[in-house]
Amino acid sequence: MVNFEKVKEVIAAAEADAASFYEKGNKAAGTRLRNAMQQLKVLATDIRKEVTELKNTEK
């Protein structure tokens, strides 16, 4: 559940960068947004592994 909370934090932090990039054309915000999306990808993979592991140990 810790990783899921981290996902929510990253999304909240990336929201301002997304607005700056798409609405204002701020290229630095685009770089930060890409970094946040990479972090989300890693966290999502970690969550998938954790869920699979917990599911398999409960049997």
Q: What is the pLDDT of residues 4-47, one digit of tens each?
A: 999 999 999 999 999 999 999 999 999 999 999 999 999 999 99
Cβ atoms of residues 20 and 26 within 8 Å = yes
* Confidence check: pLDDT of 58 > 80: no
Contacts by 50-55, CB closer than 8 A, 24 or more apart: 50/3
Contact indicator for 7, 43 with CB cutoff of 8 Å:
yes
Distance CA 54, CA 58 (A): 6
Q: Is the pTM of this model over 0.75?
A: yes
Q: Concatenated DSSP letters for 15-31?
A: HHHHHHHHHH--HHHHH
Which letter does DSSP use for residue 1 in this model? -
